[in-house]
Amino acid sequence: MPSSSGWPERLWVTGTDTGVGKTLVSAVLVRQLGASYWKPIQTGTELDSDSDTVRALSGCGPERILPNAVALPAPLSPNQAAEAAGTCIRFEDIRRPVATGPLVMEGAGGVLVPVDDRHFLVDLMVRLPAPVVVAARSGLGTLNHTLLTLEALRRRELEVFAVVLIGDPHPLNARDIARFGRVPLVAQWPWLPEITPESIRHLHLG
Helix (H) or strand (E) holding 14: strand 10-15
Q: Please say if 22 is a catalytic residue.
A: no
DSSP category for residue 30? H
Catalytic residue of the set 39, 64, 119, 137:
39
Could you count the other beta carbons within 10 Å of the beta carbon of residue 144?
A: 10
Strands 103-110 and 36-38: parallel
Strands 185-189 and 160-166: parallel
DSSP category for residue 165? E
C-alpha neighbours within 13 Å on the C-beta side of residue 27: 24
Of 60, 14, 5, nearest in space to 40 by CA: 14
State how far the Cα of 57 lies from the Cα of 109, in Å rounded to an integer.
20
State how far the Cα of 6 lies from the Cα of 2, in Å rounded to an integer.
5
Q: Are 7 and 102 in contact (CB under 8 A)?
A: yes
Q: Are 78 and 49 in contact (CB under 8 A)?
A: no
State how far the Cα of 31 lies from the Cα of 18, in Å rounded to an integer.
22
Question: Would you please indicate which residues are annotated as catalytic (active-site) residues?
Answer: 39
